[in-house]
A and B are shown apart, each in its own frame.
Chain A
Amino acid sequence: MNRSYRWALYVVLLAVVLVMLSPIVWLVSTSLKSPAEMASFPPTWWPAHPRLANYSEAVSKVNFVGAAQNSLAIALISTTLTTLSSAWVGFGFARLTAPGKKQLFVILLATMMLPGIVTLVPTYLIFAKLHMVNTYWPWVAWGLGGSAFLIFLFRQFFAGIPRELEEAAIIDGCGYIRIFWRIFLPQSWPVIAASVILSFTHAWGDFVGPAMFLSQDSTTLAVAMASGYVNSQGLPLNNLVAAGAVLYVLPVLLLFLFMQRRFVSGFTTSGIK
């Protein structure tokens, strides 16, 4: 690669980075503006006197703490149950055989292409009949059912573990449930980490699920953010919207930054073993 080519590449990539990050910068800048600055045109690029009070107002204007607790509860239920269930099912597909296994696996793969939102509305009507709307039970049910993609991920990992490990345990009188808990699951933590991150991010970001299954006063941050910050005339208070959005997005961004290092360290430790 010659020098001018390398420079051109850097210029293009830095321009892309700038474009990609500018919406986030604008979000932060807006979150620090006073009402007067929000009303001025053309807009100020960065507030002269950053107004941190927007953040405390954003937290008190809507039931931020309550909604955050609901978000966290739903995310924890989904993450724990989805990860455990997907590992459990993935183990079955990787290490055991029975008639019909092949067909079941094909169905599992096909469900990855199934439009999820199409089943969501009828599911709502069924759960409403079972009086499970406005409770966390739908998330328990979804979590226990596992995720096709994560089941596939665990299955791939478990299928790669040598058979001797399993056979030695069987000779020692171990059943498959014990083999799963004691031997296979503790080895799979790089996959567990990926599963935790993916399901947490998904549950935290989900909008339609909580908007449909939870009432306005017991809902999650995603829903509170989208509809909560309005004045008495119903117009959006955009500087508070921005401050709330920063607080809402931050956990996921931190998890993402944390995850990058975690993944790398995960791979190095499993390499040493």
Chain B
Amino acid sequence: MTSTPTDVRRSPAPTLVTSRERRKKKPPSLKRARTFYLFVAPWVLGFVGLTVFPLGYAFWLSLTDSDGLSPRTHFVGFDNYLEVFRDPLTLSSLGRTGLFALITVPLSILAGLLLAVMLNQPIRGRGLLRGLIYLPAVVPPVGAALTFRLIFDRDAGAANGILSGLGSNPITWLVDPNVRYVLYALVLWGCGGSMIISLAGLQDIPKELQEAALVDGASYWQSFTRITVPLLSPVILFQVITGIIGSLQSFAPLLLSSGTLSGAGTVPQGNYLYMIHVFAQYFSAARFGYASAMLWLLFGVILLVTLVILKVSARTVFYTVEPEGRR
């Protein structure tokens, strides 16, 4: 690496060689390029038709007063975006969703990490234990939500059964203000997914590093915080980002209460997350323009949060291999 790219461009000889080569190779490489486009075409068409176009359409709708039914819609400019600040339910549900992410994402990652560390020890039957702890993460969302509805049922549920055994009065779990704890419990039940990702990360850490630290007199805790956690930080960052994106879009409260999109308005206040409000505006109130503005707002928030996390974490995340694959 003695010459910079500009040097190469200035010197005439290499340019001649590449152009001659290009002329020689042109027919097959053009054919190859066409074959490449043929192969990636399904995804490109899907990306344009199912992502770019719907997002653009939603943006156009967000500038109108469309209700999806009447043929005449009016252009209202950015009124729908200003409406966000006038609608107390939008801001409160956004705040509630932020709190939901702030509580459940760290808890799930931490629980998954602890389980992964324990199940990375050389103990008998760990394959079976891993499988059993991971099992709830494969249960489909509807099945999981129904199961938690049954556990936290006021009269026939196991939670109140245990409480009455302890001499306590039954609690109405599925209404305010307790319903949020049922939601947190439901999310935590699936922490096996986080465990599997952390476990894969742990297995990539060379054992010699931790052993060397122990030989040098470090405690288990020091070896964990100084070696394991830094080496695992890219995996943790990945989980933080995907976890937050997932929680901001969560509609699980819908399954915990009504189970229909048109029943979105009946979700108890404590679980009234942002997506629930979006569904209520779309399917109960038919305010397509306003709901589209809400979706674009969420899209913007997610982009912003992702960029901020990437920026803030840039100094704390430790890569042994650089993200681009260079060592």
Contacts and interface: CB of A to CB of B under 8 A. Distances in A.
Interface of A: 1, 6, 9-10, 12-13, 16-17, 20-24, 26-27, 30, 33, 38-39, 41-43, 45, 85, 88-89, 91-93, 96-99, 101, 104, 107-108, 111, 113-119, 121-123, 125-126, 128, 141-142, 144-146, 148, 151, 175-176, 180, 201, 204-205, 207-208, 211-212, 222-223, 225-227, 236, 238, 241-242, 245, 248-249, 252-253, 256, 260
B295 A98 contact: no
Contacts of A93: 39-40
Contact of A260 (B129, B131, B147): B131
A202 to B, nearest CB: 9
Given A242-B150, A248-B140, A248-B142, 10 more contacts: A23-B147, A41-B170, A108-B47, A126-B53, A205-B143, A222-B140, A245-B147, A248-B143, A253-B139, A256-B138
B282 interface: yes
Contacts of A117: 249, 251, 275
A129 to B, nearest CB: 10
Given A42-B165, A114-B51, A125 B61 contact: yes
A208 B119 contact: no
B140 to A, nearest CB: 3
B39 A118 contact: no
B97 to A, nearest CB: 12
B155 interface: yes
Nearest to A229: B146
Contact of A125 (B68, B139, B149, B261): B68
Contacts of A225: 142-143, 146, 259
Contacts of A122: 54-55, 57-58, 61, 292, 295
B151 to A, nearest CB: 6
Contacts of B255: 207, 226
B156 interface: yes
A141 B261 CA distance: 23
B150 A89 contact: no
Interface residues of B, number: 86
B245 A115 contact: yes
Given A42-B164, A92-B39, A21 B50 contact: no
Given A9-B118, A21-B132, A222-B140, A107 B302 contact: no
A141 B153 contact: no
Contacts of A121: 58, 278, 282, 291-292, 295
B206 interface: no
B121 A9 contact: yes
A45 B161 contact: yes
Interface string B104-130: 000000000001001101110000010
B150 to A, nearest CB: 5
A119 B153 CA distance: 34
A85 B46 CA distance: 11
B39 A113 contact: no
B155 A96 contact: no
Given A85-B42, A226-B146, A123 B50 contact: yes
Given A39-B155, A89-B43, A119-B50, A113 B55 contact: no
A176 B51 contact: no
Interface of B: 29, 32-40, 42-47, 49-51, 53-55, 57-58, 61, 68, 115, 118-119, 121-123, 129, 131-133, 135-136, 138-151, 153, 155-158, 160-161, 164-165, 170, 189, 192, 241-242, 245, 248-249, 251, 255, 258-261, 275, 278, 282, 288, 291-292, 295, 298-299, 302, 306
A13 B249 contact: no
A21 B142 contact: no
Given A118-B249, A249-B139, A241 B260 contact: no
B37 A98 contact: yes
A207 B141 contact: yes
Contact of B306 (A113, A126, A242, A248): A113
A13 B111 CA distance: 12
B43 A208 contact: no
A16 B46 CA distance: 42
22 contacts: A13-B118, A20-B132, A21-B135, A26-B147, A38-B156, A85-B46, A104-B44, A107-B47, A115-B245, A116-B249, A117-B249, A118-B249, A119-B55, A122-B58, A126-B54, A145-B42, A146-B46, A151-B43, A201-B140, A205-B142, A225-B259, A256-B138
